[in-house]
Structure 1
Amino acid sequence: MDFSRFTHYTFEDFLNDDVFVAFVLVQNASDLLAWEKFRAEYPYKSKVALAAFDTISTYRNQRVFSNDAAQQSVFEKIAETITASQPTVKKLSFSTFFRVAAIFAVVILPAVLYFTFWNKDAVKTDYGMIKTITLPDGSEVTLNGNSKISYAADFGQGAREVWIDGEALFKVKHINIDTNNIKPSEKFIVHSGDMNIEVLGTTFNVKRRHEKTCVGLLTGKIRVDYDDEAQNRKQFVMKPGDLVKYGGESNLVHQKMVNPQHLTAWINRQLVFQNASLEEMIGVLKDDLGYDVILGDEKLNGLRVEGEINVGSVKELLQILSTTLHVNITTHNKKITITQ
């Protein structure tokens, strides 16, 4: 069994993977040797993998469940395995209830809390706030409004892993000498939903909104790992000027940026759009700046401004939209109403 596929897995990823679950339940001698080799070669991942191994081992007397919905929580899967053999039972008995409660309290809850909350530091920004932080390794991360990153409390001891929700510009500090031979302990990995971004270069922008991830590379080189439509794990190496978009249940979309500098205009509080639809611009107003935007007609979303918009305030943007799209715009505090 090849365990190298698990190098980017989180605790929940291990619990959600049928191959790993089957390995724990069967534990063939040859697989156990490969397992020990994996733990020796990837010590930074050993703690997480072993915790998942021990958690799954608790359920060795229960039948293997299928991974039909990869995004379902482990708690739902545990409930399915407990109730699957009793399809005629309409409600939980006290014994089943207490068995589930005991498993949750003793095994699952501490593990999930540890890997999800207690063992992570987090930084979050409010709407319209831009904040730059320096990670323990010296790397810089600039967060856009309404964004959050989290990272292990022992960041730097093993692979450097960061979780992003929202938008951030990363300037990663290299700790490796040979970029063609990066050791596991030298890696820098950004997790954005179902996509993992392994840094082989320096400066890149990540935006995750509404279950979609957009990655733009400014300098250096990065590799993104993702699942295609057939749920096969794929990789794509990005070069400067590359932009990729990924929605989780669709294939990766790759394109070249015409003006890469526009990608990070938000750092200087500039609102920059290129041939953008009204829906795209409303998305920035809502997601980054916290505005409540109301449309008189949903068809207005399809209106598009040809060319480039580059302004320094929401007021300027709304003036351009009103003039160019011939719409009526009223504002009251953080509420914007657009009608035709």
Structure 2
Amino acid sequence: MNHKANDTTHIDSIIVRYLMGSATHEETEELLRWIEQSEENKKVFFEQQDIWESLHPTFDLNEIDIEKAEKRILMRTGIEPRKPGFIKMFLRLWSRVAAVLMLPLLALLTYYILSSHNDIHEIVLATSYGCTSNTVLPDGTKVWLNANSSLVYPSSFGKGGRNVILYGEAYFDVKADTNHPFNVHTSNAVVTATGTEFNVNAYEPDFSVSLIEGKVNLNIADTIIRMSQGEQVTVENGKPVTTTRVNLENYCAWRSGTLIFDNEPLIDICNRLKHIYNIEFFIAPEVADKTFHMTLKGESINEVLHLLQLSAPVICTSDYIDSSDSSNVRQKIYIKPS
């Protein structure tokens, strides 16, 4: 049996259901994971999306019977010559009056009918390595999405809570609405807010929430943590740790294309860089905990490695990966003592 062909058919069917707006929540998550596996998968998805949009415009001019519509207009306005009797003229006049009186009711009825059949579909905002993006959600919430990340949100928020799914990292400026909580779902936790600003780093296996303004509730393994402004919660060894003395700007500067590392261990720096540059790091234990002060703004990975070697007695070497490597990592970096 050709398992690869079966896998392709399976994901193609999910893509079709997603584009039709009928994919389930589980299918959408499976599709997202598949898209993030490789650049080739992203290319395939966007190609199919372009084809779908070109084949399914919002309306079809060919379905409009121009001649029939013109004839109806001429007849209804009296321009079309005919000789109706008195009763027919009376009925026609009454029908016009009734139509005018019924228009508001018909418009209202049509609105409710269309609203009840207008299925809400999910939207996926995704970024590749080295790129960031931003958008405004249907409720007015502003979102900045970091590199190698994706955000799933509905085309319209219903009467319940406002729910989004995050893979990677994002900064949220939540539109205030105390009656409809805003929930960010990640693989590690759920962040709930009603109107505030916070940063969520959900690059697996790492996780942290940095609260810039207001308050949020953080649900980790059914444990509720109520965060206050200026706090940061990280997950270490499966347990949440709250820190109050932290420069939160260091964790949010990426929105302007800046990465700030203030006395951070090399292993933490590399864990962050790998999501930006699509690189796998191999760090010798002797230098893994060595701390660095660095501010990066658009430097290439080679320039970053050069800065590391200037700042500490380390040697950085790299290997490029051929296209047959199944890990989809573009480059491997080895860091050891000099």
Secondary structure of residue in 1 paired with 2:157: coil
Alpha-carbon contact 1:271-1:310 (below 8 Å) kept: yes
Partner of 2:69: none
Partner of 1:210: 204
Where in structure 2 are the equivalents of 1:115-130 lying within 5 Å? 115-117=25-27, 119-130=121-132
Partner of 1:234: 223
- Cα distance change of structure 1 residues 267 and 257 upon mapping to structure 2, 3 Å threshold: farther
Partner of 1:300: 287
TM value normalised by structure 2:
0.57
- Cα distance change of structure 1 residues 257 and 114 upon mapping to structure 2, 3 Å threshold: same
Gaps of 5+ in 1: 1-111, 177-181, 228-232
With 281-290 and 163-172 compared, the bigger mean Cα shift is at 281-290
2:262 corresponds, among 251, 258, 274, to 274
Partner of 2:7: none
CA offset digits 1:113-171 (Å, max 9, x no partner): 52234642211110111000111111111111011111234334421101111000001
Letter in 2 for 1:325: A
Aligned-residue RMSD, C-alpha? 2.4
CA offset digits 1:33-53 (Å, max 9, x no partner): xxxxxxxxxxxxxxxxxxxxx
Partner of 2:234: 245
Letter in 1 for 2:190: N
TM value normalised by structure 1:
0.57
- How many angstroms apart in 2 are the aligned matches of 1:133 and 1:218? 19
Shift of 1:253: 0.5
Partner of 2:95: none
Where in structure 2 are the equivalents of 1:183-222 lying within 5 Å? 183=179, 186-222=180-216
- How many angstroms apart in 1 are the aligned matches of 2:314 and 2:219? 42
- How many angstroms apart in 1 are the aligned matches of 2:147 and 2:207? 16
Identity of aligned residues (%): 27
- How many angstroms apart in 2 are the aligned matches of 1:256 and 1:219? 13
- How many angstroms apart in 2 are the aligned matches of 1:157 and 1:123? 23
Partner of 1:59: none
- How many angstroms apart in 2 are the aligned matches of 1:257 and 1:148? 30
Alpha-carbon contact 1:130-1:144 (below 8 Å) kept: yes
- Cα distance change of structure 1 residues 212 and 291 upon mapping to structure 2, 3 Å threshold: closer
Secondary structure of residue in 2 paired with 1:302: coil
Q: Structure 1 segments of 4 or more deviating over 6 A?
A: none
- How many angstroms apart in 2 are the aligned matches of 1:121 and 1:165? 14
Letter in 2 for 1:309: M
Where in structure 2 are the equivalents of 1:39-78 lying within 5 Å? none
Is the radius of gyration larger for structure 1 or structure 2?
2
Corresponding residue pairs, total? 212
Alpha-carbon contact 1:167-1:207 (below 8 Å) kept: yes
Alpha-carbon contact 2:175-2:195 (below 8 Å) kept: no
Letter in 1 for 2:288: N
Shift of 1:289: 2.1
Secondary structure of residue in 1 paired with 2:335: strand
With 147-156 and 267-276 compared, the bigger mean Cα shift is at 147-156
- How many angstroms apart in 2 are the aligned matches of 1:187 and 1:196? 12
Gaps of 5+ in 2: 1-21, 29-120, 321-329
- Cα distance change of structure 1 residues 170 and 156 upon mapping to structure 2, 3 Å threshold: farther
- How many angstroms apart in 1 are the aligned matches of 2:168 and 2:224? 22
Alpha-carbon contact 1:293-1:338 (below 8 Å) kept: yes
Letter in 1 for 2:269: M
Shift of 1:222: 0.9
Higher relative contact order (CA 8 A, sep 6+): 1
Where in structure 2 are the equivalents of 1:1-340 lying within 5 Å? 113-117=23-27, 119-174=121-176, 176=177, 182-183=178-179, 186-227=180-221, 233-246=222-235, 250-295=238-283, 297-305=284-292, 308-312=293-297, 313=299, 314-330=301-317, 335=331, 336-340=333-337
